Amino acid sequence: MKEKLESLCRRFDEQTARMSDPSIYDDMVAYKKLTKEVAQLEPIVKTWRRLEAISDEQAEAQMMLDESDEELKELAKEELKALSSEQEELEADLQILLLPRDPDDDKDVILEIRAGAGGEEAALFAADLYRMYARFAEKQKWRVELLSYSESDNGGYKEVIANLCGDQVYSVLKYEGGVHRVQRVPATESQGRIHTSTCTVAVMVEAEDVELNVPDTELRIDTYRASGAGGQHVNRTESAIRITHLPTNTVVTCQDEKSQHKNKAKAMKVLKARLLDLAQAAQHAERTDERRAMVGTGDRSERIRTYNYPQGRVTDHRIGLTLYKLSDIIDGALDAVTDPLRAHVQATLLEEQKRETI
């Protein structure tokens, strides 16, 4: 373990030194890769070096216990107690930092929300979920780009697709995929009866060109006139785009922009994310038991969370988490749910590591 950590420290120092070389800015792809690696190594290196410093400080404090001055001895005892407490915390942090990383954790995501069972109420719930994620993203200082949406009659969403970009987006949101259920009295309900509706959420890694090449021969691209509100330009020009990936029959449409080129770019972004998601799903199927043991399969058909409005309650069924702060969570305080989910996965991985070392 010590050799591995010292090797990581050397790597960190080497890569940090490279960042001071002006020539690195000539290749922005290499620079981006370098800064990402340094950012990943930095917390590990800082934690390890602080632990080494604590060891030296403990040795010095231990020597003070041999002094004849009682006041110095008391100070040494207090310092040793504080250092021991800090050491325990840092060792626990280091264990988590050294857990195997998901290579996709740093990536941006394509978020898809679709109304499920419940008709118009499900569409309104889809709009609520989108606002929840958008407000949460704002608090995380992420950028949100609305890629495509289909509105319902009463202002909800039959489907909404957005691109979320920022620091560690997939790492935070990757456990949000699945069926979200709402229990509440719809605005149109005259007798006050509680209805149950559902939406499906998919969180897909945004595909990079280097990892997913889609030949033009596999695509059929159709243009047509956009429908719905948007002014005469949207309705009179063939700016809407429909892209079909022929091998998988995956279809993506986009009509929100006035420019055909912008619609095509957005549609391609969604298509690549879906294709990458299909490829990853095949890999995940091989380790379904492992995923289910952590926090579920991640399948869109799996019910993961219930939002109960009459009781102000949010329940995550995968880890048995119940919180009576629904209004805060819907308003974007989603970390109240995402943090326990990530902690649960980390604890599961740590237990697995312990079993493997026994």
pLDDT given for residue 26 in this prediction = 87
Least confident of 223-232, 246-255, 273-282, 298-307: 223-232
pLDDT given for residue 235 in this prediction = 46
**Rounded CA gap, 20 and 13, in Å?**
11
The domains of the chain are located at 2-97, 109-206+296-349, 216-282
Residue closest to 174 by CA, chosen among 266, 100, 108: 108
pLDDT of 13 over the 70 cut: yes
pLDDT of 100 over the 50 cut: yes
pLDDT given for residue 129 in this prediction = 97
Higher pLDDT, 184 or 279: 184
pLDDT of 290 over the 70 cut: no
pLDDT given for residue 301 in this prediction = 65
pLDDT given for residue 230 in this prediction = 46
pLDDT given for residue 294 in this prediction = 47
pLDDT of 130 over the 70 cut: yes
pLDDT given for residue 253 in this prediction = 87
pLDDT of 232 over the 60 cut: no
CA dihedral 227, 232, 238, 240 (to 10 degrees): -40
pLDDT of 102 over the 90 cut: no
pLDDT of 288 over the 80 cut: no
Split at pLDDT 50, 70, 90, the class of 282 is low
What average pLDDT does range 88-106 have in this prediction?
Answer: 88
pLDDT tens digit string along 298-347? 455 678 999 999 999 999 999 999 999 999 999 999 999 999 999 999 88
pLDDT of 287 over the 60 cut: no
- CATH number for 216-282 (one of 3.10.450.750, 3.30.160.20, 3.90.25.10, 3.40.190.10): it is 3.30.160.20
pLDDT tens digit string along 63-96? 888 877 888 889 999 999 999 999 999 998 898 8
Least confident of 133-137, 192-196, 241-245, 351-355: 351-355
pLDDT of 292 over the 60 cut: no
pLDDT given for residue 127 in this prediction = 96
Split at pLDDT 50, 70, 90, the class of 278 is confident
Average pLDDT value over all residues in the chain:
86
What's the 3-state SS for the chain?
CHHHHHHHHHHHHHHHHHHCCHHHHHCHHHHHHHHHHHHHHHHHHHHHHHHHHHHHHHHHHHHHCCCCCHHHHHHHHHHHHHHHHHHHHHHHHHHHHCCCCCCCCCCCEEEEEEECCCCHHHHHHHHHHHHHHHHHHHHCCCEEEEEEEEECCCCCEEEEEEEEECCCHHHHHCCCCEEEEEEECCCCCCCCCCEEEEEEEEEEECCCCCCCCCCHHHEEEEEECCCCCCHHHHHHCCCEEEEEECCCCEEEEECCCCCHHHHHHHHHHHHHHHHHHHHHHHHHHCCHHHHHHHHCCCCCCCEEEEEECCCCEEEECCCCEEECCHHHHHCCCCHHHHHHHHHHHHHHHHHHHHHHHC
pLDDT tens digit string along 244-256? 999 889 998 888 7
What average pLDDT does range 157-181 have in this prediction?
Answer: 93
2-97 is classed CATH 1.20.58 = yes
184 contacts 309 by C-beta, under 8 angstroms: yes
Fold of the domain spanning 109-206+296-349: Alpha-Beta Plaits (3.30.70)
Least confident of 21-35, 37-51, 77-91: 21-35
Least confident of 104-113, 226-235, 311-320: 226-235
Higher pLDDT, 15 or 214: 15
What average pLDDT does range 228-237 have in this prediction?
Answer: 48
